[in-house]
Amino acid sequence: MGEITIERVYDYREDPQRAGAVFLVDRLWPRGVSKEDLDGVAWEQEVAPSPNLRIWFGHRADRFAEFTARYRSELDGHPERAEKILEAARSGPVTLLYAAKDTEVNHALVLKAWLDEQDTE
């Protein structure tokens, strides 16, 4: 399986040259980003955390462990939502884009870890 990397969408806009497939994995379109900025990027909003989970989490670091468990449960319950990303990763590198400010407490980290584990199953 190809390497899966994550990157803030705002950093990607500054240098959109990436090898492989690129996916926006947020449920909501990122503020200040035009569709043209992400030309060629697939928007996989269904793989993002459910609206209720996203609102509950609120990017609070003290909730990250519980958020991780709940989000992984959602992914385990609906693995088909990530199938396009997994298919692309089987063919080469993949970049997951997210808009959260915190680079250490966000759903893309959880999604990447979950996707990496799918290769071993």
pLDDT 10s digits, 57-108: 999 999 999 999 999 999 999 999 999 999 999 999 999 999 999 999 999 9
Cα angle 14-83-108, degrees, rounded to a multiple of 5: 40
Calculate the dihedral angle through the C-alpha atoms of 97, 99, 104, 109, rounding to the nearest 10 degrees: -40
Number of domains in the chain: 1
Calculate the dihedral angle through the C-alpha atoms of 78, 91, 107, 10, rounding to the nearest 10 degrees: -140
Secondary structure (3-state) at 107: helix
- Segment 3-23 mean pLDDT: 85
Which of 8-12, 28-32, 42-46, 108-112 is the least confident region?
A: 8-12
What DSSP element (H or E) covers 97?
strand 94-98
Q: Which domain holds residue 64?
A: 4-118
